[in-house]
Amino acid sequence: MSSLVKTSYSHNVASTAMAMCSSFCPQIPNQFRGRPISSFPSRQPFSVPFKAFTSQANIKEDQLPARIGFLGIGIMGFPMAQNLIKAGCDVTVWNRTKSKCEPLISLGAKYKSFPEEVAASCDVTFSMLADPESAVDVACGKHGAANGMSPGKGYVDVSTVDGETSKLIYGRIKATGALSLEAPVSGSKKPAEDGQLIFLTAGDKSLYDTVAPLLDIMGKSRFYLGDIGNGAAMKLVVNMIMGSMMASFSEGLLLSEKVGLDPSVLVEVVSQGAISAPMYSMKGPSMIQSLYPTAFPLKHQQKDLRLALGLAESVSQPTPIAAAANELYKVAKSHGLSDQDFSAVIESLKGKLQQ
Ligand SMILES: NC(=O)C1=CN([C@@H]2O[C@H](COP(=O)(O)OP(=O)(O)OC[C@H]3O[C@@H](n4cnc5c(N)ncnc54)[C@H](OP(=O)(O)O)[C@@H]3O)[C@@H](O)[C@H]2O)C=CC1
Ligand SMILES: O=CCCC(=O)O
């Protein structure tokens, strides 16, 4: 197994790390301008001094990527790109549906018509696409980002895909002489808006070091997990657990109601005990009202369960709970709930959907 290194910085400290390059991040407070990275405090207990990474990576403190590309402006891509823009970064965006870029363009983002043009005009390009097919198409397709990559550039795919897809994209980008990193995220729409995502990265360590200050603008912590594919695997395992948890919670809500209990009280009881989870407290109240405002689309949760089951199959690991949960998400999808929040899986357990 590869070694696991976690670096963690508070959002403010992370943002100040951008101060090394004043043209890169003009909103950095004056007291941090020109200060070396090593002077920034790091958060305990898991933090690793930033300096350690910059020196290992053999990059100079004034060589941070100046021009940032962002491909895929959906539920997640939008707030992530927005946070980069708000931090003062020079951001160029592209999305299949151009209209979703307009609010970012109003905030100062540049726009290019094809992923390859974004990659060609930027130092580092992030991509946040729906699934393996779109991630490959945007990176490696006809007008894909790989066509615009060259030595000195970096590509960071933050989409949730399987390890094989990640390796394919990595190989295609590396063939251009550029560096490549997978960095899927844990955390949903609100953490993305608040710059509180958790990055699960793997691939080129020197690119990880280079983009660390950018990850710290968009997230609250980051893990470097070694070889390409490990980030995807970690993300799929986390989302496999999450999908099963939500299915189990749905069963509990419905059972409590059927035996005459108040499901709102169940949510409160759960929130105070050992199985409490922010997800239950956040989504329980709306689930009770059969409302599923979309943060994490159900179709993506089912995709992640499908990919996690494939991962489990590849190493002959039994995952019967996840397999059962996956069936519920498939039922929900077949009833038109794909674009609802994944908490809509509860509908698949209501008699009316099963008939
Ligand atoms: N929402 C969440 O809570 C989280 C999602 N994720 C993962 O992040 C990724 C994005 O999720 P999210 O933002 O929620 O999803 P959205 O469905 O909101 O966004 C998907 C993005 O992919 C683009 N896209 C889809 N198909 C294609 C295609 N064939 N070619 C080019 N672009 C395409 C969409 O473009 P267009 O606008 O034109 O449709 C859009 O920009 C997924 O992998 C998801 O699993 C990870 C963590 C949390
Ligand atoms: O992939 C989606 C994850 C959603 C979350 O972590 O809350």
Q: Is the pLDDT of residue 340 over 50?
A: yes
Please work out whether the CB of residue 95 comes within 6 Å of at least one atom of ligand 1.
yes
Please work out whether the CB of residue 160 comes within 6 Å of at least one atom of ligand 2.
yes
CA–CA dist 300, 317 (Å, integer): 22
Separation of CA 157 and ligand 1 centre (Å) = 12
Neighbours of 168 (CB within 10 A): 17
Neighbours of 272 (CB within 10 A): 8
Separation of CA 305 and ligand 2 centre (Å) = 12
Domains annotated on the chain, with CATH: 5-228 (3.40.50.720), 233-354 (1.10.1040.10)
Residue 351 confidence (pLDDT): 80
Distance of CA 342 to the CA centre of its chain: 16
End-to-end alpha carbon distance in the chain: 46
For residue range 41-59, list pLDDT tens digits in order.
Answer: 332 222 222 322 332 333 3
For residue range 194-240, list pLDDT tens digits in order.
Answer: 999 999 999 999 999 999 999 999 999 999 999 999 999 999 999 99
Please work out whether the CB of residue 302 comes within 6 Å of at least one atom of ligand 2.
no
Alpha-carbon torsion (133, 139, 141, 142), positive or negative: positive
> Which candidate in 235, 283, 303, 333 is catalytic?
235
Residue 56 confidence (pLDDT): 31
Average pLDDT over every residue of 320-345 = 98
ipTM for the complex shown: 0.99
- Closest atom of ligand 2 to 304 CA is 1
Question: Nearest ligand to the C-alpha of residue 297?
Answer: 1
Please work out whether the CB of residue 218 comes within 6 Å of at least one atom of ligand 1.
no
- Amino acid (one-letter) located at 82: Q
Please, are residues 111 and 92 in contact by the beta-carbon 8 Å criterion?
yes
Phi/psi of residue 152, each to 5°? 95, -15
Question: Nearest ligand to the C-alpha of residue 75?
Answer: 1
- Give the residue, out of 80, 296, 300, with the most ligand 2 atoms within 8 A of its beta carbon, to mutate for a pocket test: 296
CA–CA dist 298, 304 (Å, integer): 10
Q: Which helix (H) or strand (E) holds 283?
A: helix 278-288
pTM metric for this prediction: 0.86
Separation of CA 72 and ligand 1 centre (Å) = 7
At 178 the three-state DSSP class reads coil
User: What are residue 92's DSSP bridge partners?
Assistant: 69, 110
Average pLDDT over every residue of 133-138 = 98
CA–CA dist 124, 81 (Å, integer): 13
Residue with structure tokens 């809500």? 253
In this prediction, residue 99 has a pLDDT band, given cuts at 50, 70 and 90, of very high
Is 235 known to be catalytic?
yes
Neighbours of 56 (CB within 10 A): 11
Of 200, 204, 199, nearest to 231 by C-alpha is: 200
In this prediction, residue 34 has a pLDDT band, given cuts at 50, 70 and 90, of very low
For residue range 8-28, list pLDDT tens digits in order.
Answer: 333 333 333 333 332 233 333
